[in-house]
Amino acid sequence: MGYDEFYRLSVEEPERFWGEQARLIHWETPPQQILDATKLPFRQWFVGGTTNLCYNAVDRHLAERGEQLALVAISTETGVTEEISYRVLYREVNRFAGILKGLGVGRGDRVVIYMPNMAEAVYAMLACARIGAIHSVVFGGFAAHNLALRIDDAEPKLLICADAGMRGGKVIPYKPLVDAALAEAKAPPPHVLIVSRGLDKDMQRVAGRDVDYARLRAEHMNDEVPVAWLESNEPSYLLYTSGTTGKPKGIQRDVGGYAVAMAMSTRLVFDIGPGQVMFSTSDVGWAVGHSYNVYGPLIVGATSLLYEGLPTNPDPGIWWRLCEKYRVRTMFSSPTGIRLLKKQDVSWLKKADLSSLKWLFLAGEPLDEPTAHWITDGLGVPVIDNYWQTETGWPVLTLMPGLELKPVKWGSPGLPAPGYRMKVINEATGEEAAAGEKGVLVMVPPLPPGCLTTVWRDDDRYVNSYFSHFRELLYSSLDWAIRDADGYTNILGRTDDVINVAGHRLGTREIEESVATYSAVAEAAVIGMKDELKGQVPVVFATLKQGAAASSEEAARGMQQAVTEQLGPIARPARIYVVNALPKTRSGKLLRRSLQALVQHTDPGDLSTLDDPASLDEVRKALERGPDLGS
């Protein structure tokens, strides 16, 4: 069956379609009803069926592939690599589950996990799933206040943390951040389980509260912990996203729907099956990390590479050497990661044997065409953009090489994934936009399996945040998009990332795309600056490729000319700053609002997710010295 027929079946006969996909996982009790959509926008998938994420990811593979690698945890920061078979993974998860039960954690209890990309983080997630506890992974190194907000919302029975993480050779102690968060939190857990890597020699322990993982592991070495069979619609995990009110939203995922979505998407989108190897460069604290570092590859019986480190350390060839060593079939990264490598010599892409690599997927932000061309030419493999959100849990727009590879169109993440009924809506009229007309990307409920089921303990916020933007009941992605005559969608940026120049609405994304066509540019961020005459004008911050021959002034003129030629004089940047680094979150998203605040001399806001604090200093210095073009 090709993509067109497969997709059509998924939206025209969803119960038949998802009933067939449900066979990809183990059900202890078969579902009694495939879909209950009587209370939209809420819905339930595989009603009455009981299953378990840990069993599907670990136990069911033991008979056929117990000795196969399940997980390879690689840290170029600590220099440690752990190669973990399915049988070893089973043993470690049972030990961890025994520890959890010994600390009083049971079905429905929440467990906050505050760790970097290390094997024990995966053990902890799977152990929670095994006993029916609800895990909430918070990105390691997140600021104490933001950790406290998540603790108070989840009200966990236990917090699990590493003593420290590392980035670029620098130790980042986690425990002081945990202590500060628990001092602030109104609902601190009774225990903190510390997984020490010996990175923080001065780590302080709180008597009676803090417990040592290594000691407890030794006590639970031979534990066999039974699987908790959960009804399909019970919560599996919480993953927090920033909210417009300042209070983070706890995205709640189910069990059965998520397992089925992972089984299908890993095979058909990412073309990964039993015994094959997937390398996702995401952190476990992000949605991609949950879905395609942990659950997706393990549910299909594949091998997952878990990487802690920078793409340029010890050198810009490290990712590709790992692909060679472990015979990676599918790699999943972000445009930001590739743009970082784009600053380096292209020869690094040629030094490893990449004959096993079939696909490179990129997501997290729109993929600009120059970067897409650069990495496609450099690797010689198809590069597939895909679009999704923390809320959806798996791709919304993509191509599906595991089913049928449709043509790649530069600048577009592709076509709707199975089960997603997509529209582009004219914001002013509320009507569906014509082909080539800009609008807001929406989904028609019921949302397919794997998407969020609600906001944790706040159904009203779920409805108001996602389904209250149009007269019709539609899930708003809050992203601008254009759909072409072939059904391919281009993402233009957030609906709140719009510059109004003399009455002309310009997406920052559109201007960034134009800036990036100038050959010396490695990466660019565009924000709007207040202007008395025009309302707003575009301001560009850009980094240049390593070894770029153009001076900052020459590059700035080239960028301005590129924008003027492609978008017209109305979009011409008023100022252009060439900097050495752009401020980003650790997941690679540009902090445009912080840039805008610095330009306007206002508070840059929450910087807890900032990857490199020095990048903000770069921007401040550039603002002090003045633009390379403009005034």
pLDDT confidence bin for 589, thresholds 50/70/90: confident
Tell me if 318 is assigned to some domain. Answer: no
DSSP-based three-state secondary structure for 161: strand
CATH number at residue 218: 3.40.50.12780
What gap in Å lies between CA 334 and CA 386, rounded to an integer?
Answer: 10
Average model confidence (pLDDT) for the chain? 93
pLDDT surpasses 60 at 245 = no
Residues linked to residue 198 through DSSP beta bridges, in sequence order: none
CA distance 98 to 105: 10
**355: in domain:** no
The band of 610, judged by pLDDT with boundaries at 50, 70 and 90, is confident
Please say if the pLDDT value at position 242 is more than 80. no
Picking from 39, 25, 24, 158, the residue whose alpha carbon sits closest to that of residue 103 is 158
CATH of the domain at 571: 3.30.300.30
Check if the beta carbon of residue 480 is closer than 8 Å to that of residue 495: yes
Which two tokens mark 264?
């299908």
pLDDT at 311 (0 to 100): 93
Q: In the structure encoding, which two tokens stand for residue 361, read together?
A: 């997927």
Confidence grade of residue 596 (pLDDT, cut at 50, 70, 90): confident
Same domain, 154 and 268: yes
513 shares a domain with 452 = no
Q: Which residue, of 478, 513, 543, is where some domain finishes? A: 478
Asked whether residue 175 falls in the same domain as residue 62, the answer is: yes
Residue 107 has pLDDT above 70, yes or no: yes
pLDDT of residue 121 exceeding 60: yes
What is the mean predicted confidence (pLDDT) over 160-175?
Answer: 94
pLDDT at 514: 87
Q: Are residues 231 and 110 part of one domain?
A: yes
Q: CA dist 269 to 47, 418, 423, Å?
A: 26, 10, 21
High-pLDDT (> 90) share of the chain, %: 77
The pLDDT of residue 244 is above 60 = no
Residue 365: the pLDDT is 75
Q: What is residue 428's predicted lDDT score, i.e. its pLDDT? A: 80
Same domain for 468 and 510? no
Based on the domain organization, do 215 and 117 belong to the same domain?
Answer: yes
Averaged pLDDT, 189-207: 96
- Boundary residue ending a domain (478, 511, 540): 478
- Residue 183 CB neighbour total at 10 angstroms: 10
Question: Which pLDDT value is given to residue 592?
Answer: 83
pLDDT at 425 over 80: yes
How far the first Cα of the chain sits from its last, in Å, is 59
What mean pLDDT do residues 53-77 have?
98
Q: Is residue 187's pLDDT more than 90?
A: yes
Judgement on whether residues 443 and 533 belong to the same structural domain of the protein: no
Segment 250-303, tens digit of pLDDT: 999 999 999 999 999 999 999 999 999 999 999 999 999 999 999 999 999 999
pLDDT given at position 133: 98
Classify residue 584 by its DSSP letter: B
Assigned domain for 167 exists:
yes
What is the amino acid identity at position 411? G
Q: Is residue 467 part of a domain?
A: yes
Please check the confidence at residue 221 and state whether its pLDDT lies above 60: yes
Residue 530 or 183, more confident:
183
The rounded distance, in Å, linking the Cα atoms of 150 and 112 is 9
Which residues are CB-neighbours of 231 under 8 A, at least 6 positions away? 48, 49, 50, 255, 256
Q: Do 442 and 529 belong together in one domain?
A: no
In whole angstroms, give the CA distance from residue 68 to residue 84. Answer: 8
Q: 50 to each of 31, 45, 46, 326, 447, how far by Cα in Å?
A: 7, 11, 9, 35, 21
Lowest mean pLDDT among 176-180, 404-408, 627-631: 627-631
Distance separating alpha carbons of residues 294 and 305, to the nearest angstrom? 9
The encoded tokens of residue 293 equal 């570092």
**Least confident range of 94-103, 474-483, 496-505:** 496-505
Range 33-41 contact pairs with CB under 8 angstroms and sequence separation of 24 or more:
35/446, 37/445, 37/446, 40/445, 40/446, 40/473, 41/445, 41/446, 41/447, 41/462, 41/463, 41/466, 41/467, 41/473, 41/475
Which letter does DSSP use for residue 59 in this model? G
Is beta strand 170-173 parallel, antiparallel or unpaired with respect to 330-333?
unpaired
Residue type, 443: M
In a domain, 363, yes or no: no
Specify the number of domains making up the chain.
2
| 68: region left, alpha or beta (phi > 0 left; psi from -120 to 50 alpha) | beta
Side-chain-facing half-sphere of 349: CA atoms under 13 Å = 17
* 215 contacts: CB under 8 Å, gap ≥ 6: none
pLDDT of residue 401: 97
Q: Is residue 357 part of a domain?
A: no
* Banded pLDDT at 503 (limits 50, 70, 90): low
Q: Which residue has the higher pLDDT, 411 or 292?
A: 292
Is there a domain that residue 373 lies in? no
The pair of structure tokens assigned to 585 is 């979150």
What CA–CA distance (Å, rounded) separates 45 from 37? 9
Q: Which pLDDT does position 439 carry in this prediction?
A: 94
Q: Which of 440, 406, 446, 437 is nearest to 423 (CA)?
A: 440
Secondary-structure percent of the chain, ordered helix, strand, coil, rounded to 5? 35, 25, 40
Among residues 582, 613, 612, which one has the least CA distance to residue 310? 612
Q: Where does the pLDDT of residue 608 fall: very low under 50, low under 70, confident under 90, or very high at 90 and above? A: low
Whether residues 419 and 508 share a domain: the answer is no
pLDDT tier, 330 (very low <50, low <70, confident <90, very high otherwise) = very high
The beta strand positions in 557-620, using DSSP E, are: 575-578
The model's pLDDT over 478-499, given as tens digits with 9 standing for 90+, comes to 998 999 999 999 998 777 677 8
Tokens 């795309």 sit at which residue? 513
* Helices and strands (H, E) in the chain, number of each type: 20, 33
pLDDT at 505 over 60: yes
Whether 346 is in a domain gets the answer: no
Residue 20 is predicted with a pLDDT of: 98
Last residue of a domain, one of 478, 509, 525: 478
CB of 363 closer than 8 Å to CB of 395 = yes
| Domain that residue 559 falls in | 497-630
Same domain, 126 and 247: yes
* Mean pLDDT, residues 556-567: 89
Q: Are residues 49 and 189 in the same domain?
A: yes
Q: Read off the amino acid at residue 442.
A: V
Strand order in the sheet with 210-212: 210-212, 191-195, 158-162, 110-114, 134-137, 237-241, 249-253, 454-455
Can you give the pLDDT at residue 220?
Answer: 98
Q: Following DSSP, what letter does each residue of 399-444 receive, concatenated?
A: -BTTTB-PPP-TT--BEEPTT--EEEE-TTT-SBPPTT--EEEEEP
Answer yes or no: are the C-beta atoms of 305 and 334 closer than 8 Å.
no
Same domain for 61 and 90, yes or no, is yes
**Coil vs helix vs strand at 255:** coil
What CA–CA distance (Å, rounded) separates 286 from 319? 19
Residue predicted with more confidence, 569 or 332: 332
Residue 502 pLDDT more than 80?
no
What is the secondary structure of 76-116 as a DSSP string?
Answer: TTTTEEEEEEHHHHHHHHHHHHHHHHHTT--TT-EEEEE--
